[in-house]
Amino acid sequence: MEPRRQFYRLYKQYHSSDCISKYSSIARISYIRPSARTITDLRSRSEPRVFPSSGWENIEPSFLVEEENIPIYKPEKFYPVRIGEVFNHRYQVVGKLGYGSTATVWLCRDLLDHCYVALKVYISSTSVSQEIEIYNHLKTIQSDHAGQSCLQSLIETFQVRNPDGHRNHTCLVHPPLGISLDQLMPLLPGKVMSSSMVRTTMRNILAALDFLHTEAQVIHTDIQPNNILLGIKDTSILSRFEEAEVEGPVPRKSLSDRTIYVSRPLPISLGTPVLCDLGEGRLGVENQKGDIMPDIYRAPEVILNMKWDNKVDIWNVGMVIWDLFGHCHLFRARNDEGKLDDGQHLAEMQAVLERPPAEFLARSAKSPQFWDANGQWKGPVPIPDHDLETLEERLEDGEKEDFLRFLRRMLCWFPEERATAKELLFDPWLMHGLFK
């Protein structure tokens, strides 16, 4: 088979809907199911497992695989993890869960506690001291707040030396979680969530934020679908994940100094949604400064270089809800060349929120670039001719009115006018159907 066609066939085998079957009206990825005896044997194993040394599909060296596609990718900064490798004398890698610009994530078997963990191995140039500081801070809080269970926890951290002998990598060990909402969405009917699914998800995320804001005094700053993961209700999916790697190893590209693996997707786990990744978090909920948030989700005070507080998370939640419920982002925030553009972003905001109050604009030295002294728009692009009512096309009558009112409690120019996480938890739209 021609190499390019072979690569795409292999890639689709592990990432497309070709390997998806329907279960309870939600897509679930099929896996080889080990026998009950096999799972029992796995649970009792305390010695490293021997993984296959052959039997996988080889990817041509000329093709870019997974993290190699990242524009700023430098192979020497990534630790060359191998399936079967044991970290910190206890965590044996059984498969690749995913990757990003700063780390790769692996499912591991804890050989001491006979359970599974998720291992995040950072690139050598990334400092995670801020993230570790926040996790350590959270451990000191004595609380029975329900939102704690909706946050990803940290088991331990350690350093590993790169095989080249010149670099160290920080590793974070977490309890394993399922797929992200970003991975879930393409598997749903219409590739969007139903009202009930959005409600269930956001109750958990808002509970997590209420704990972070009120008891932990932490701002997340990076809420997005790929940072919200499903909990694992049936842990047997992890045993099946491991057995699938033994029975059918994932495709990989072998190089002289490393092997680049294709990630193996987990099946839908149907557990409680969990807010993850505190790498961009901030201790202290007021008077923060600096550029934060995923670009299309940025709050207006961030774009305009104002001081910000924990209400940026509330704006962020509104953005994510729209993404889960709609077929596109609320704001495109990009010019005709596809580049991030503050003027385009603010023009789209004004179309949805109407003209910002003069008192709000007075807080920013950057405002005169986009509005004149009378608060009239003078930005480089015209204000789009639409509003929330015309953009929202899925709901009808009363539910649409309630949903948009709920959304407007989060999407306000003035941060102090946005509802708190706790107030939003008791919003009528979010509570609808809760007590049936």
The annotated binding site is made up of 120
**Beta pairing partners, 99:** 104
Work out the angle at residue 375's Cα, subtended by the Cα atoms of residues 371 and 378, and round it to the nearest 5 degrees: 30
For residues 152 and 148, give the distance between their C-alpha atoms in angstroms, rounded to a whole number: 8
β 115-122/86-87 pair status: unpaired
Residue 271: which H helix or E strand, with range?
Answer: strand 270-275
3-state SS string over 92-161?
Answer: EEEEEEEECCCEEEEEEEECCCCEEEEEEEECCCCCCHHHHHHHHHHHCCCCCCHHHHHECCCCEEEEEE
Beta carbons of 303 and 292 less than 8 angstroms apart: no
Closest CA to 255 of 73, 93, 80: 80
Burial of 117 (0-12, 13-18, 19+ CB in 10 A): buried
For residues 71 and 219, give the distance between their C-alpha atoms in angstroms, rounded to a whole number: 29
Work out the angle at residue 79's Cα, subtended by the Cα atoms of residues 73 and 80, and round it to the nearest 5 degrees: 95
β 168-174/115-122 pair status: antiparallel
For residues 434 and 177, give the distance between their C-alpha atoms in angstroms, rounded to a whole number: 25
For residues 310 and 282, give the distance between their C-alpha atoms in angstroms, rounded to a whole number: 9
Beta carbons of 264 and 244 less than 8 angstroms apart: yes
Residues near 136 by beta carbon (within 8 Å), at least 6 away in sequence: none
> Residue 141: how many CB atoms within 10 A of its CB?
13
> Residue 171: how many CB atoms within 10 A of its CB?
22
Q: Which residues are catalytic?
A: 222
Beta carbons of 162 and 79 less than 8 angstroms apart: yes
For residues 106 and 103, give the distance between their C-alpha atoms in angstroms, rounded to a whole number: 10
Per the annotation, binding residues for ATP are: 120
Beta carbons of 101 and 121 less than 8 angstroms apart: no
For residues 280 and 264, give the distance between their C-alpha atoms in angstroms, rounded to a whole number: 27
